[in-house]
A and B are shown apart, each in its own frame.
Chain A
C-alpha cells in the first residue's frame, strides 16, 4: 500500500503515523522520547512496521517537532516543518471549519488562530513552561497518581480548590499546602486543571479572540479534567480529535504528501535498512574555532558522520557534502 510517513519528535513523546493516499490514518505509534530521540526514532519505526502483514510503500516523509532535523537526517525527509504549521494543517484537515487550536505538549503550549484553514495568528509560551505536559506529569508523580488517571480523578471533584497558576513553582507550593490542609485529591487535581487553564489564557492566549470551532490537541488533551476546565472557562464546546496525541505527525505526513504530489518527485526517504540496520551514535564536542565554544553535535551512522549542527558559524554544518544537506533545508 502506498503511504506517507509523518514523524513528530517532541520533548516528551515521539509520534509516527502512516497515512494513505486519501489522507486517512492507517497506523500510529506514540512512544515516549525519554531523552533519546535517536533510539525513539528507531524504535518507533520498528513498531510502525510491525503487526499486520500489510506491506507499506513509503512515498514521502515529513518531520516536525523539536527533533525534526534529527529525524530528517535519520529517515531522509521531504518536508521539515515547524510544529505550528504541522498542527494547523492536521486540524484543518479534520475540521475544515476550525478557528482556534489549543495545543499543549510536553514542553510548550500554543494557540493557533485560523481563518478558512490558514493560520492567521499564533502564540507560544514564552519563557515559562508552567502548565505544560511535563509539569502535569511531575505533579501526578508527586501525588502518586498515574498520569492516565489524572483527568478521570479530577472530573470527580465537586469543589475545586483555588491554586496559583502563574508559575509552576507557586502552583506546586500551593498544592502542597492544600494537601496538608486535607483537601481531597480530586479537588486539588481539578484546581490544578483550572489554574493551568487560567495560566494558558493569560499567557499564551492573551489578547487573542477565541472563536468556535475550538480544537484541543497534543498529549495533554488526553486529560479530561483539563478539557472540562477549558469548556467551563470558555463556555464553548471543545473538540478533541480521535488522534489528538499524534496530530503533529499527521500534519507532517499531510505536508509531505502535498509536497510529493505537487512536485511529482521521488521521496528522499532513505529506506528501512538505513534506519534499522545502522548503528547511530550522536556525539557532542566543543568547537575551539572561536571564543563562542559552540557545542557541536555530530550524528554518525556506523562511524560515518551524517550531520553536524549547533555551530553558530556553520563551519561544521557545511563541512559535509552539500547534496546530503539539501534535506535539512527548511521548506
Chain B
C-alpha cells in the first residue's frame, strides 16, 4: 500500500478530511506529520526562506517531519483560488516549488493545482491527475472525489457547531472534544485558520480565552452569506478569500450584540494581515485587539494582553449596566 504524507499545516485545517478520504478511497494510506512543536519550528525556520510568513516556515518543518515517516508521496497542493474572482495569498501558489527548492531528498511530491478563479474545468483535470498516482480508473477517481466531498460537507457542519477547525478534525476522526457551555464573555476571534488553529503558532489563544471564562466565536460559526453581505459593505471587494471572510466576520460580530469584543490574530510576516487588520481596526466599533504572533515562544506578552482584554470587557459591562452606552 502506498503511503501519502500530509503535512499538518496551512490548508490542512481547511481540507484534511477531504484529502484523507480521497486518498484512502483510492487505496492509499494517509500519514500526517506530528502536531507543530518546537522541533517542527526549529527545522522549518532553518529550511525556509527568510521572507516567508511564519505558518509557511512551520509547513517546511512538517514536510521535513514526514521524511522520517517513510512515505511514498507528500501531498503539497498549489492553491491559487478556491472561488471565483478571489485568490489565496501568492505564497501558496509557489508552495510546491518552494518546498522542492528548500528540502533535499524529498519523496515524490503530489502537486495539485487548485484554481477556481474562472472555471472548474481545469480543476477536474487536476483531480484526475492526482488520482492517477494510484489508479488509472477515472470512474473510481471521480467516485473518490464525490465521496470525499460528502465527508468534507460533514466536516463543515461540525466546524459550525462551535468547535475550532482543529477540534472539528478531531471530532471528525472520532475523538471526543468537550465544549463548555458556561461563559461570562463572548469574544470573537479572527485570524488565518492555519495560524489561529495551530496551538503552537497561536499559543493556544482560543484555549486560553476559554480558560478565562470566555466563549469563543469564530468566522466558521457564522453563515457564509452573512459574512459575504457584511464584507460587501466595503467600497472595494477584498480579493483574498480568507481576508474577505475575516472582514465580513468582523463586521458581523461588530453588529451582533452578543459579542463583547473582537480579537484579531495576525502573523508578523503576513502581507494580507497587515492590510486586513488595519481595515477591521478602523471600522469596528467594539473593543478590538490585534495580536501579532511570530516565532517567539515567550507567552507572557500574549497572556497579559488576553487577561487585560477580558478584564476590560468585564469592567466595561459594569459601566454599561449602569445604563450608559460606552460604545463611542
Contacts and interface: CB of A to CB of B under 8 A. Distances in A.
Interface string A101-120: 00000000000000110111
Interface in B40-92: 40
Interface stretch (A82-90, A136-144, A238-246, A275-283): A82-90
Contact of B318 (A84, A118, A122, A126): A118
Interface string B190-210: 000000000110001000000
Contacts of A209: 328
**Tier of interface size on chain B:** 20 to 34
A124 B300 CA distance: 13
Given A119-B316, A291-B34, A207 B304 contact: no
Q: Nearest 9 CB-CB pairs, A to B?
A: A84-B308, A291-B37, A82-B307, A292-B37, A119-B312, A291-B39, A82-B308, A126-B292, A118-B319
5 contacts: A85-B315, A120-B328, A124-B301, A291-B40, A292-B39
A266 B302 CA distance: 31
Interface of B: 34, 37-40, 199-200, 204, 212, 268, 281-282, 287, 289-290, 292, 294, 300-301, 303-305, 307-308, 311-312, 315-316, 318-319, 324, 326, 328
Interface string A261-305: 000000000000000000000000000001111100000000000
A127 B316 contact: no
B38 A292 contact: yes
Most chain B Cβ neighbours within 10 Å, of A115, A116, A293, A312: A312
A153 to B, nearest CB: 33
A127 B294 contact: yes
A181 interface: no
A120 B316 contact: yes
Nearest to A126: B292
Contacts of A290: 37
Nearest to A329: B211
Contacts of A127: 268, 292, 294
Contacts of A119: 308, 311-312, 315-316
Contacts of A324: none
A327 interface: no
Contacts of A54: none
A123 to B, nearest CB: 8
A120 B312 contact: yes
A121 B328 CA distance: 11
Contact of A115 (B38, B300, B319): B319
Nearest to B309: A122
A326 to B, nearest CB: 15
A66 interface: yes
B318 A207 contact: no
Contact of A118 (B301, B303, B316, B328): B316
A1 interface: no
Given A82-B304, A84-B312, A118-B316, 17 more contacts: A66-B300, A66-B304, A82-B311, A85-B308, A115-B319, A118-B318, A118-B319, A120-B319, A122-B312, A126-B290, A126-B292, A127-B294, A207-B281, A291-B34, A293-B37, A293-B38, A293-B39
B28 to A, nearest CB: 26
Given A119-B312, A126-B290, A127-B294, A291 B38 contact: yes
A267 B186 CA distance: 32
Given A66-B300, A116-B319, A127-B268, A122 B308 contact: yes
Contacts, number: 74
**Tier of interface size on chain A:** 20 to 34
Nearest to A67: B300
B316 to A, nearest CB: 6
Contacts of B294: 127
B287 A120 contact: yes
Contacts of B289: 123
B18 to A, nearest CB: 27
A217 to B, nearest CB: 16
A66 B304 CA distance: 8
A262 to B, nearest CB: 14
B39 A330 contact: no
A42 to B, nearest CB: 22
A140 B281 CA distance: 36
Contacts of A85: 307-308, 311-312, 315
B166 to A, nearest CB: 15
Nearest to B37: A291
A207 B282 contact: yes
Contacts of A292: 37-39, 200
Nearest to A125: B301
Interface string A36-66: 0000000000000000000000000000001
A251 B92 CA distance: 48
A119 B307 CA distance: 13
Nearest to B322: A116
A157 to B, nearest CB: 34
A26 B326 CA distance: 35
Contacts of B282: 207
Contacts of A84: 304, 308, 311-312
Contacts of A81: 307, 311
A312 to B, nearest CB: 8
Most chain B Cβ neighbours within 10 Å, of A118, A122, A293: A118
A330 B208 CA distance: 12
Most chain A Cβ neighbours within 10 Å, of B39, B40, B301: B301
B75 to A, nearest CB: 22
Most chain A Cβ neighbours within 10 Å, of B287, B294, B308: B308
A323 B230 CA distance: 49
A79 to B, nearest CB: 12
A15 B268 CA distance: 33
Nearest to A84: B308
Contacts of B305: 124
